[in-house]
Amino acid sequence: MITVAEQVAVIGAAGYGGAVAAAILRRHPSLELVAVTARSEAGRRHDDLYPRYRVPLVLDEFDADDIAARAQSAIVAYPHGAAAPAVKALRERGLKVVDLSADFRLDRARYERWYQTHAAPELLGDAVYGLTEAHRDEIRTADLVAAPGCYPTAALLALWPLREQIEDVVVDAKSGVSGAGRDATQTTHFVSVTENVQAYKVEGHRHAAELEQELNGATFTFVPHLVPVEQGLLASCYVTAYIGEGELRDLYRDAYEGEPFIDLVDEPPGTDEVRETNRCRIRVTVVGGRVIALAAIDNLWKGAAGQAVQDLNLMLGLPETEGLE
């Protein structure tokens, strides 16, 4: 039983994912957000950067000792590469950590193939992949959880109950622009995005490594697309699998029964149905012998910060849904 609020910090709260994490924690009934840090915006108030999130804290420079003195757990929302040293410093000081970056999602070989030399490989063995619906029990006892990428979250939730039967799958995913982060680039310029739909990284997106690791053995094609949406991600999955409509529905119903954030729905889910929620709406059907599995999430919530808080709730023995409804 939790009797007092646990203190939490968000490391990297100026970016979109970290900002949402701070917003969720601010209203969390059992957790107290005590510190937010930022690399480039330190010194500014968080509620000046993000007025509607109403987090009444000043963004600090990151100092592991200071954070350790004030908090017992942290959500780290740095980019990959920058995250590992911060996570390491916090873990060394005993904090439980959920990391939003890719740094602890993959085994070392996969990580170093897609990203770079790992800065804290000794921690990889402890890290649990934070897709709650797939790894709940491990998360409960973990001290370090790697929250999945937004694309893998949607695709894996769309496919998880079917993972043993998949022979081959095409994942055509559409993401809103917040998924590309707060950095101002030609890609995220309003003029580039509006009235545009475009695939990118067709030859290989880093998130595919997560799919490959979790969907062990299935062959798949993953193509991300950018759409003129702020928050929202739809994964349309086309699966070669020998299963009938009824069996398919039973499989998903059984797998997701009691899942607090999964909605199995009868119509194709729209991303606006889950905006600013931690929910994933999934619809599966068989058409012409092929399974079509559609999953919609908010890329910043279930695809990042919401899922991180879901993980953290489990790690701290709190009800999984606290602060998320």
Q: Is 69 helix (H, G, I), strand (E, B) or coil?
A: helix
* Shortest reach from residue 69's CB to a second copy, in Å: 29
Stretch that binds a second copy, among 31-39, 224-232, 253-261, 307-315 (CB under 8 A): 224-232
* Shortest reach from residue 98's CB to a second copy, in Å: 23
Binding of residue 40 to a second copy (CB under 8 A):
no
> What is the CA 224 to chain-centroid distance, rounded?
16
Q: Is 8 helix (H, G, I), strand (E, B) or coil?
A: strand
The answer to whether the CB of 304 falls within 8 A of the CB of 24 is no
Counting Cα atoms < 13 Å in the Cβ hemisphere of 203 gives: 1
CA 197 – CA 200 distance, rounded (Å): 10
Binding of residue 51 to a second copy (CB under 8 A):
yes
Stretch that binds a second copy, among 113-121, 135-143, 144-152, 176-184 (CB under 8 A): 176-184
Sheet strand arrangement including 73-76: 59-60, 31-37, 6-11, 73-76, 96-99, 144-146, 128-129
* Shortest reach from residue 231's CB to a second copy, in Å: 7
DSSP sequence for 227-273? -S-SS-EEEEEEEE----HHHHHHHHHHHHTT-TTEEE-SSPPPGGG
* Shortest reach from residue 193's CB to a second copy, in Å: 4
Binding of residue 302 to a second copy (CB under 8 A):
no
Q: Number of residues interacting with a second copy: please give it, by CB under 8 A.
A: 66
Chain positions contacting a second copy, by CB under 8 A: 16, 51-52, 54, 170, 172, 174, 176-178, 182, 184-186, 188-200, 202-204, 219, 221, 223, 225, 227-232, 234, 236, 238, 263, 265, 268-277, 279, 281, 283, 285, 287-288, 290, 292, 294, 296, 325
